[in-house]
Amino acid sequence: MSVPALEVSGVSKDFGRIIALRDVTFSVQPGEFVSILGRNGAGKTTLLNIISGVSRPSEGTVQLFGTNPSDRENKAKLAVISHEMFLYGNLTALENLEYYSRIYSVPDAQERIETVLKDVELTHRRFDLVATYSRGMTQRLTIARALLHEPSLLLLDEPFTGLDQHAIGMLITLLKRQKEMGRTILLTTHDLHTATALSDRYLVISKHKIVKDGLIVDTNPDKIRQAFFSSEVEEGVS
Amino acid sequence: MMSTAFSILKKDLRMEFRSKESILAMWIFSLLIFVIFNFTFEVSRLVMLEIAPGLLWVAFVFSGMFGLNQSFSMEKENGNLRAMALMPVDGGQIYVGKFLSVTIIMLMFEALIFPIFIIFYDLQLSLGMFMLIPVLLAGTIGFTSLGTILSAVAVHTRNQQILLSLLLWPLVSPIIIWSVTLTGMVLSGEMTEACYPLLVRVGAFDVIFFTLSYMLFDFILED
Amino acid sequence: MRSKIDKILLIILLIAFLVSIYLIFQWVPQIKASNPAEQIAQRIFYFHVPSAWLGFMAFFVVFCGSVAYLVTRDRKYELISVASAEIGVLFISLVLITGPIWAKPVWGIWWTWDVRLTSSLILWLIYVAFLMLRRYLPDGSKRANLSAVVGIIGFIDVPIVYYSIRWWETQHPKAVMASSEGSLAAPMFFAFMFSLATFTLLYVYLIRKRYQLLALEDTINKQFKEMEIL
């Protein structure tokens, strides 16, 4: 097999009084679409922070395409979509995208910006300040921004929360296209339906550990539900 | 390499100039400082001239604080601090960009405040006043080099503005002391040989804190 | 083992303090001063100066702990820095309190913007801000990083502050300073060194205790978490 896109081995995040992750191990092959399921506070966001090189694990290692995630080349291959917009309200859509394309040294930036704007159907509003956008439009622009530098690995942290129907449809279409292009995608969610509909594989995080790792194709959705909900119930007890 | 810093600078200046009201408000605020000082310290013109350099720096520093607070609160707004941590660039480059934008804005304020100051205190313009340029430049850079990194620290707290003041004032006091003295020397036309070692001292401070902040900035972005 | 060391330390500390108090108030000969109040006030020197030295030392430990933390990311160094900053603030507070008590009978004023006084005050402000910053941040690696950065910048700034104020002071009319004591007489020197040693011991004891307490808090909190998890 080729070099895995992502290899997480024995990762714990445990700082002072905070325990966020315990001995998490898994790897993701290039082109895979993996959903990470778990309740809020289970450690999903911490895991994504460690994978994206923003946070350091207290133990264990993470390898992105065979190297350290905080390497600059790796950060350029990465995109994060979360509830945070990563956009400036006082700039127009075009200015926002131009700014990020310079930071990420996107080749043929103008062309690329036009493409992503068209993908999220915002071309007609590109000269307007982002602050004047509706919530749904801002979220679409967030997606455009993330895809701007054609990342090889997409990290999506609860991307569907708060999206309107139109934006959800658009994000799903775009994600499917990214997958066809061979991009690796990691998605955290607490929504089972989107996870089963989109991904090849799922991981269930509960109590800061991975409790389940299975393929969607050979697993009955009910079984995932079981794994997912049983962990929910246990957490509910304590 | 430096293109990152310039991209950030360009973006910051663009955003700053787009909110013209706040620039105007800041300028009027500095006017108010002169007015209030005039009423609270009812002193003779001679004494006023003696405290004028201090007054000038109070106005400068307040406008600088405004710029510093602004600089990172606009990054916090939509989670852009995290976006910065995710950027495929050296944290030092981000520091340089932020430092440059804050410095340029503060210098701009100084340029706006100074003429008012001249008028209010009836200062005689002379050729010697050109020496103020290096003095203000050195003092401002010292203030902003330390201010930029501390603003990036303070922005992570709920009470950003108070905390920035608490952190910055004591640390930046040497720069203020020296800058006020130097400004006084220039304004009173006593710009003598004695000023140069002092100017060099301010410059050394600038270099130390700029370098230190450049090296430490990566740790601030990291979670 | 650890608690045994602490116990021995505490006993030595108690004895040392009693001895220093005896040395300072009984054994050291009276200084020659026209003002009787000054003769008594002078003895504050044996508490004042060691506090100041230990305060500086404590902040140096904050600096070292901050650097060590950023290099290793070990929680231990963060806790050492915090403990030392707290104790440093305590010692400098003592300096700022004992100073005016001495100054009032000797100089006739509580406070003057002299280089030592002003720089001690600014020093105190720097580390109070350091501790305040930590109060405003949630516990975690982010807080540890930010406070380490401030711990480093703060300490680098200390000599610059001192230098700038000394410079500023010479530009201003001198305070009503008594002439410097000159060299200390032998018994005074001995009493001073003894007091300094006692204060150093106090610092060692306090930082050990404070560190243990902070580490214990972590352990307890973690055990609670652990219970939640299971």
pLDDT for residue A97: 96
Contact A104 B14 (CB under 8 A): no
Q: Which residues of chain A neighbour B7 with C-beta distances below 8 Å?
A: 99, 102-103
Give mean pLDDT, residues C10-24.
88
Tens-digit pLDDT string for chain A (238 aa) = 578 889 999 999 888 777 888 899 999 999 999 999 888 777 888 899 999 989 889 899 999 988 888 888 888 999 999 888 899 999 999 999 999 999 999 999 999 999 999 999 999 999 999 999 988 889 899 999 999 999 999 999 888 877 788 888 888 888 899 999 999 999 998 777 777 788 888 888 888 888 878 777 655 666 666 666 665 544 433 3
Sheet with A184-189: strands ordered across: A78-81, A153-157, A184-189, A33-37, A201-206, A209-215
Average pLDDT over residues C3-30: 86
Torsion of CA A45, A50, A51, A54, to 10 degrees: 100
| Residue A112 exposed, middle or buried by CB count within 10 Å (0-12, 13-18, 19+) | middle
Contacts of A215 (CB under 8 A, 6+ apart): A200, A201, A202
3-state class (DSSP) for residue A23: strand
Q: How far apart are CA A46 and CA A44, in angstroms?
A: 5
Tell which residue, B67, B220, B215, B209, has the closest CA to residue B157.
B220
Nearest to A8 by CA among A58, A61, A56: A61
Give the gap in angstroms from C-alpha B100 to the nearest C-alpha of chain A: 17
Closest approach of C144 to chain A, Cα-based (Å): 10
Question: To the nearest whole angstrom, how far is the Cα of B20 from the nearest Cα of chain C?
Answer: 32
What confidence score (pLDDT) does residue C183 get?
A: 56
Interface confidence, given as ipTM, is 0.91
Tracing tokens 């995208």 back to the chain, one arrives at A97
> Cα–Cα–Cα angle for A79, A177, A8, nearest 5°?
40
Q: Which of the 8 DSSP states describes residue A149?
A: T
SS3 A216: coil
Closest CA to C169 of C229, C227, C117, C129: C117
| Residues on chain B touching A80 (C-beta within 8 angstroms) | 82, 86
Neighbours of A78 (CB within 10 A): 21
CB-facing half-sphere around the CA of A230: CA atoms within 13 A = 9
- For chain B, residues with pLDDT lower than 70 are 1, 191-192
Q: Which of residues 38-97 of A touch C (CB under 8 A)?
A: 55-56, 58
Residue B38 touches partner C, C-beta closer than 8 Å:
no
Q: How many CB atoms lie within 10 A of CB B8?
A: 26
The 10s digit of each residue's pLDDT in B84-114 is: 999 999 999 999 999 999 999 999 999 999 9
Q: Which residue has the tokens 């100089």?
A: C107
CB A200 within 8 A of CB A183: no
Q: Which helix (H) or strand (E) holds A50?
A: helix A44-51
**Domain at A6-229: CATH code:** 3.40.50.300
Task: Look over chain C and give the mean of its residue pLDDT values, rounded to a whole number.
Answer: 86
In A70-208, which ranges are E strands?
Answer: 78-81, 153-157, 184-189, 201-206
pLDDT given for residue A218 in this prediction: 57
> Which residues on neighbouring strands pair with residue A205, listed in sequence order?
A210
**Residue C24 DSSP code:** I
The chain C residue lying nearest A206, using CA atoms, is C229
| A-contacting chains (≥3 CB pairs under 8 Å) | B, C
Distance CA B172, CA C129 (A): 13
Give residues with Cβ within 8 angstroms of C223, minimum separation 6. none
Contact C149 B167 (CB under 8 A): no
Q: What is the residue type of C108?
A: G
Taking any CB pair shorter than 8 Å as contact, residues of chain C touching chain A are 73, 75, 78, 139-141, 144, 217-218, 221-222, 225-230
- Among B220, B207, B208, B10, residue whose Cα is nearest residue B98: B10
Q: What is the spatial distance between Cα A230 and Cα A224, in angstroms, rounded to a whole number?
A: 10
Contact B219 C145 (CB under 8 A): yes
With CB atoms and an 8 Å threshold, state whether A88 touches B11: yes
Structural contact between residues A151 and A175, judged by C-beta atoms closer than 8 angstroms: no
What is the rounded average pLDDT of the residues C30-39? 70
